[in-house]
Amino acid sequence: MRVPPPPSPSYEVWAVAGIPEVRPGDDLARLVADAAPELRDGDILLVTSKIVSKAEGRIVRADSREEAIDAETVRVVARRGPLRIVENRQGLVMAAAGVDASNTEPGTVLLLPENPDASAAAIRAGLRELLSVDVGVIVTDTFGRPWRTGLTDVAIGAAGVHVLDDLRGGTDAHGNPLSATVVATADELAAAGDLVKGKAAGLPVAVVRGLGHMLGDGSTAAQLVRTATDDMFRLGTSEAVREAVTQRRTVRAFTAEPVDPAAVRRAVEAAVTAPAPHHTTPWRFVLLESEAARRELLDAMRDAWIEDLRRDGKTEESITKRIRRGDVLRNAPYLAVPCMVMDGAHTYGHARRDAAEREMFVVATGAGVQNFLVALAGERLGSAWVSSTMFCRDVVRKVLGLPEDWEPMGAVAIGHPAAAPRERVPRPADPFIAVR
pLDDT in tens, the chain (436 residues): 666 666 667 899 999 999 999 999 999 999 999 999 999 999 999 999 999 999 999 999 887 888 899 999 998 888 777 788 899 999 999 999 999 988 788 889 999 999 999 999 999 999 999 999 999 999 999 998 888 899 999 999 999 999 998 887 777 777 777 776 889 999 999 999 999 997 767 899 999 999 999 998 888 999 999 887 777 777 665 555 666 666 777 888 999 999 999 999 999 999 999 999 999 999 999 999 999 999 999 999 989 988 888 988 888 888 888 777 667 888 899 999 999 999 999 999 899 999 999 999 999 999 999 999 999 988 889 999 999 899 999 999 999 999 999 999 999 999 999 988 777 788 888 999 999 9
Statement: 248-432 belongs to CATH 3.90.1150.10: no
For residue 384, the SS3 value is: strand
Domains 12-224 and 248-432 agree in fold:
no
Distant-in-sequence, close-in-space partners of 4: CB < 8 Å, separation ≥ 6 = 213
Helices (H), 132-237: 185-197
Residue 236 pLDDT: 65
Name residue 12's amino acid: E
- Determine if residue 435 is left, alpha or beta; phi over 0 gives left, psi from -120 to 50 gives alpha, anything else beta: beta
Q: How far is CA 137 from CA 46, 175, 198, 329, in A?
A: 6, 35, 18, 53
- Torsion, Cα of 217, 222, 223, 228 (10° steps): -160
Residue 244 pLDDT: 63
Per-domain residue ranges of the chain = 12-224, 248-432
Burial grade of 395 (CB within 10 A; 0-12, 13-18, 19 or more): middle
DSSP code for 390: G
CB 44 within 8 A of CB 207: yes
Q: How far is CA 105 from CA 24, 62, 110, 286, 376, in A?
A: 13, 11, 10, 63, 48
Name residue 392's amino acid: C
Distant-in-sequence, close-in-space partners of 248: CB < 8 Å, separation ≥ 6 = 373, 374, 376, 377, 383
Statement: 12-224 belongs to CATH 3.30.1330.100: yes
